[in-house]
Structure 1
């Protein structure tokens, strides 16, 4: 989600690098994004093994997952600023090395405290990879490809989650959970070293300079903190877009983490099969992210207010699908409704991102997208797993998943209020 924070980057009108090198940069940067999410999601596949070996509560398991999203939410914006100043390619390499080293730390952890510390540093390493990585990709391609590249790059998060969950479950079932973490760490180390050898700060910098004719950092607008805050929230409705999307992501955030455990407990599947099935659901969410965005663009063409209605529809339908699924016994109908919910649950990201861009001034789009990423991570992706774990300790995992869909009621109401305030904001901005 945080990858969209880089969409305001102004350097990519007529890149001077070759097409083959540009696609090589994209492939390697996308590959590191896969490694990012594979390292993040490996934990979810081995929840049952950690719970049994260390006698952990579901709250503790949820905190091990939520701490990563929490650090991403807190650090994405400041680390992105530092990367712009210090060098994006150099920063990406160091980020990948840090999260890979922390993933290796998970493999050798002896207790919950050590695992928590290692997971915290995974979050620190991954905090700004999405925003900085996308900025590097956009800087070597023509401007007319930005939407396609941004959508493809964002979908990499779901694909990486799917691969991490599926491969980790298979490795853990045959060799133990420690090897799952070690495998992802080695993959990250190797890819980071290849990236550093192939993608150079000098070629990227020459590309930016050729376009802008100046130092990249010198063309950015400067605001005082008060002016920036006032501009970010000048439109009242945009605040409801931030909040609505963040609350809605409680659902996919919880399901990404707890689906393997739920499938193992409710369906009595072996760990490797439960992880693969959960990974398919995560992939469904990534496909839905792309399809819902395309559908929103088509329906709202010429009718900008329809973006609000599409967000409301996605919230309501996904909430109904999840609520119906967890009222049913284990079976094919339940799995079908979970799949429908996963397809639509993250669909609000498309219309919300468009609304944030529309309702904030163009010179601060990057900052606005970073605020959006902060809400998505803190309110949704970090809170969802922890809330579910706390409820599961008290009433059981199935009962907890019955309650989580009520978050869509809150997100729907937030989008309804935003839609109500939207015409006044548009009129004021036009004036």
Structure 2
């Protein structure tokens, strides 16, 4: 079903509907990191093996992301979203019944494949409905669902402690399956044309799209390559945080698993909520005067946030670490509100979901490698603080590279 005259009420309602999906997208994937101790104990895993559970998820997620984005560009955002939600929820349910490390590894692989299709399709659909002055805020509000999923995913330690680690996967797997049925009736695709003309004057050639043609178009733009480099470093830093911060906090500040898991996600997500609203509103308002406002907002955010990531890994005072996590979260929120709108300004609108899929591809492949490397370095007695310090420096360099991006004349 398509919608040729999108109303502002449905456009914002869409953000609300997909916020729940975004929550599940990250909650289901990240819950495992704060359940480390009972899973390691039950299956007798090393740190490297436990890290591999997240790495395999990221590698499969990254490999399929461009294809998921391409299907959303060529066919239907709605169908890709519903397919993704239903399958990853079924896999989440399966995870709660796994009986061996190998079976859990397989479930994480298939979760990555199924979740890969969601974000490119969802952000493309939201920015189809939201243009100009509401695009960054709408994108940011949707991304805040991811933060909520990350924050509550940190409660996995408490779930495991009181109900057993399997129960969380079982309950939220069933909920996701039911919610995908609800989405089947309420999601609507929007035509790629507005008032008879394609957005930014580009023809609607979706039926003739090819993956190779999409790749050629995207990769010939130097600005897209800059964005790809930036996002790969961001993915490395983010997934080192997602995968190993609960362990880092537990060991360095002598926290119990529940408090460490919640602290590792909660403070960053609170900052991200602030950043995503602030970054979305400011970028949308600034956009009326400067078309590069969204790029500048990201640069400003991580020029401050990256040094605070370094501070978090260096301090011995937990209160200072909390402040540092909060500020880093603000920077990440500003980024998430503006990254897809920036992509819209540098890439052909016919390939937007595919383009975001390639960003996810490089980010998660690099991130997956670094999660595994983090575990291997930990086994080799290398302090995680050093890993975070190096990540912060690389993040600052990558952020400044965004200043080289050139936007389209009609963006």
Q: Please give the range of the TM-score, normalised by the shorter of the 2 chains.
A: 0.7 to 0.9
Q: Which residue of 2 aligns with 1:3?
A: none
3-state DSSP class of the match of 1:395? coil
Count how many residue pairs are aligned between Structure 1 and Structure 2: 404
How far did residue 14 of structure 1 move?
1.8
Q: Does 1:269 align with 2:260?
A: no
Q: Which residue of 2 aligns with 1:404?
A: 388
Which ranges in structure 1 are unaligned for 5 or more consecutive residues? 1-10
Q: Which residue of 1 aligns with 2:204?
A: 219
Counterpart CA distance in 2 for 1:299 and 1:282 is 26
| Residues 70 and 377, structure 1, Cα contact 8 Å, conserved in 2 | yes
Q: Which residue of 2 aligns with 1:376?
A: 363
How far did residue 122 of structure 1 move?
0.9
How far did residue 266 of structure 1 move?
3.1
Q: Which residue of 2 aligns with 1:178?
A: 166
Match of 2:320 among 324, 330, 333: 333
How far did residue 388 of structure 1 move?
1.9
3-state DSSP class of the match of 1:46? helix
CA RMSD in angstroms comes to 3.7
Instruction: Quickly say closer, same or farther: Cα 1:24–1:300, change in 2 above 3 A.
Output: closer
* Bigger shift: residues 336-345 or 241-250: 336-345
Instruction: Quickly say closer, same or farther: Cα 1:415–1:233, change in 2 above 3 A.
Output: farther
Q: Does 1:236 align with 2:201?
A: no
- 5 Å-filtered alignment, 1:28-427, equals 28-83=17-72, 87-136=76-125, 145-166=134-155, 168-196=156-184, 198-199=185-186, 204=188, 208=191, 219-220=204-205, 222=208, 228-287=214-273, 288-295=275-282, 302=289, 311-345=298-332, 347-350=334-337, 352-380=339-367, 382-396=368-382, 399-417=383-401, 419=403, 421-422=404-405
Counterpart CA distance in 1 for 2:23 and 2:83 is 16
How far did residue 313 of structure 1 move?
4.4
3-state DSSP class of the match of 2:314? coil
Match of 1:15 among 6, 11, 36: 6
Instruction: Quickly say closer, same or farther: Cα 1:415–1:28, change in 2 above 3 A.
Output: closer
How far did residue 242 of structure 1 move?
1.8
Instruction: Quickly say closer, same or farther: Cα 1:189–1:355, change in 2 above 3 A.
Output: closer
How far did residue 68 of structure 1 move?
2.3
How far did residue 73 of structure 1 move?
2.1
| Residues 54 and 371, structure 2, Cα contact 8 Å, conserved in 1 | yes
How far did residue 324 of structure 1 move?
2.2
Instruction: Quickly say closer, same or farther: Cα 1:52–1:286, change in 2 above 3 A.
Output: same
| Residues 72 and 123, structure 1, Cα contact 8 Å, conserved in 2 | yes
How far did residue 90 of structure 1 move?
4.0
TM-score (norm 2): 0.82
Structure 1, residues 366-417: CA drift from partner, whole Å, max 9, x if none? 433333333333334x344223222212125xx1233223233334334545
* Bigger shift: residues 132-141 or 369-378: 132-141
Counterpart CA distance in 1 for 2:128 and 2:306 is 38
| Residues 18 and 122, structure 2, Cα contact 8 Å, conserved in 1 | yes
Q: Which residue of 2 aligns with 1:5?
A: none
How far did residue 112 of structure 1 move?
1.7
| Residues 72 and 353, structure 2, Cα contact 8 Å, conserved in 1 | no
Instruction: Quickly say closer, same or farther: Cα 1:372–1:118, change in 2 above 3 A.
Output: same
Counterpart CA distance in 2 for 1:12 and 1:46 is 43
Counterpart CA distance in 1 for 2:58 and 2:122 is 18
